[in-house]
Structures are given as C-alpha cells and as structure tokens.
Amino acid sequence: MVTKVVMPRLSLTMKEGTVGIWYKKEGDIVEKGEPIVEVLSEKATYDLEAPASGILRKILVEEGVDAPVNAVLAVITAPDELFSETEILAEVPQTVEEAEKRVLASPAAKRLAREYGIDLSLVKGSGPEGRIVEEDVRRFVEETRGILPKVKEIIPLSGFRKTSAERVSLSFKTAPHSTITMEVDVSKATELHEKLEVSYTAILVKAVAKALTEHPIINSMFEENQIKIFEDVNVGVAVATEYGLVVPVIQNADRKSLKEIDATIKELTEKARQGKLTREDLSGGTFTITNLGMYGVEFFTPIINPPEAAILGVGKIVEKPIVISGKIETKPFMTLSLSYDHRIVDGAPAAEFLRKIKEKIEETLGFEG
C-alpha cells in the first residue's frame, strides 16, 4: 500500500513548514513510528515519524525547502510495490514560492541577482520568451548604480525567521494594537529573587498567572467574531536564540509554585538555545511575556503573539528616587508595557489587569507557595 508522508499541522496558525534533515534516504527500509525527517515549524524542530513500515521510495521535498501543511513530503511503499509518481506529484500543493508568478531566468542571472539583492521581476529579459540572462542583470545593475547599494549578504526568510515574520505581520494585520505602561516597585521582588534564588522572569510569570485568573477576558483569543476565553492559563516566555526568537510555554502556570515555574523556565530556555524544543513546549500559549531589560531597554512596545489577546513587555530595573515620609530614598523600578487586542478588551479593563500585575509584584503575597 502506498503511504504518503505529509507536512503536519503543528499549531493553530501554521500554514507551512520547512524540511530540515532527512534521516533516511531513498531506498532505505523504515519502520512505523521511526523518525524519518526533521521539520522546522513555529520556531522549533520536530521529528516526523514514519506513518507506516516499508521502503522510503521517493523523497519529494528536499532539505531546506518550505512546504505547506498537508504537502506530500515523501512516499513509503512495500518493497516491490508499484506506484504512479505522476499521480502523487499532482496531489502535492504548491509552495508559496511556486504559487507566486514565476520569473524565467538563467542560473547565472539568478546567481548575479542574489549577489546584488535584485528582485528579478524588475528586470526586463532579452532572451527567448522574455527569459532573463546574465547580461540583462548586469545592464540593470549599471542603470541603477548609485541607486541600489551592493548587497554584502542575503539571509533567506525560511524556517524560524520566516515563521516569525509571518506571525508579526499577521498580528498587525488582524489585531488592532494598543499599549499602556506602568512603573512597578520591585523591592520585594528583589528580596524574593535573592532569598529563593529564582529569576525575575519566574516572579513575573507567577504575577501574570495570578492576574489572569482574576481577569479571564485577557486570557482569550478573537476568532470568527467571537471571544473565546481559555480555561487553562499557559504563559509563554520569549527567548532569544541563534535561531531567532522562540516562545516556549509554561503550561498551567497558575497551578505551579514559584520554584516549579523557575525550574520549568530554566529547562525550556536551555532546550530553546539547543534548538530542541518540542511541539508541546511551544503549543497552547494563552499569554506571552517578553523581556528586553537585559539589553538595557527601559521601555518598548511589544507585538501581540497571535492568536493571544495581549503581551507583556518588561524593561530593565532602574534605581529611582522617591519621597517617603518627607525623605528622598531610592528604590528599584521596572516599566511594564501591556499591548492588547482592542477588539477583545478596552483601555480601562486592560489598565485594571496591568495594575493587578503591579500589585502582585509589589506585594509578592503567596509567591513562596
């Protein structure tokens, strides 16, 4: 029986993934449940298992190539089984690149265009049927000299970077953003950080989880003209890696102790930096925290992580003077920025939610439990 290996849908918003490494080559024997190919999606690596035992007869999508969800990546058959490659290929959905208007160009012309960062659709071809040749690209370079700078390096938008770009674009296209800020006294949080040896991020996650249980409208998504409030409180924490920005999720953060949250964050951060996050590690987020304080940033406007309703931006801790009982003292403060989807929540309830986070951090009551 002919069995297709297809690009899986690994998240609600996934449209396509990137084929990483093929662990098997054409003609190899594969066993059902055995990892056969690495798939990059939602800024994570995922080992796709063989759906059946047999021979890996044909690989249809090579390493490093993007393919839409449900695209046929390969075909598994019995050892001597016949199959029609034409029929299989006819069922393979077009990739995004193939769906776009094709530009006829010679390999030399494409290579030169990549070197100069030129969009070939802007170049007029002089070859047969308007085919672009190398000389056409050189002529275009001469005509635009002084207008187009020479490109040093080209970083293709694929895998993690492509997913990130698409999600940011989707967020701004679909969710009307609004942002509010508050300063938070982190004196008690600092004491807790030193006493329990937990990260400030863990304290923030704990505060956010507590606030979300009291303001469930923020723990929601907008879909098909409906607001869907989530039962679980799953807080994502943005982590910068060499692969790009990833958002592993602390599942059921409202039910975890501060120590448990801290341990989970450390584990997920290490997996993120090694590129070993699983689908489960990145799935099910209902709210996201992103911290740029370690880069010296005091305030910024974060972009909502779709399809969530809001995201919290965290700035660096700064010592500031305040007046207490007529005397000037200094205390550590951080600025929190809440970006929220205005379709779901208005300014007043958003402010109440942010104020609740502020109260939780400043009081840190029950955080040790």
Question: What is 66-102 written as a DSSP string?
Answer: EEETT-EEEEEE-TT----HHHHHHHSPPPHHHHSPP
Catalytic residues: 342, 346
Instruction: Report CA 364 to chain centroid distance, whole Å.
Output: 31
Q: Other C-beta atoms within 10 Å of 149: how many?
A: 9
Tell me the CA distances in angstroms from 213 to 172, 269, 273, 292, one per residue in order.
27, 25, 30, 25
Tell me the CA distances in angstroms from 29 to 56, 62, 78, one per residue in order.
6, 19, 10
The conformation of residue 359, written as its DSSP 8-state character, comes to: H
Own/partner long-range contacts of 227-233 (Cβ < 8 Å, ≥24 apart): 227/344, 230/286, 232/284, 232/286, 233/209, 233/286, 233/287
List helix spans (H) across the chain: 85-91, 96-99, 107-116, 134-143, 159-174, 187-196, 200-214, 258-273, 279-282, 347-363
Residue type, 47: D
Per 3-state DSSP, what percentage of the chain is helix, strand, and coil (rounded to 5)?
35, 30, 40
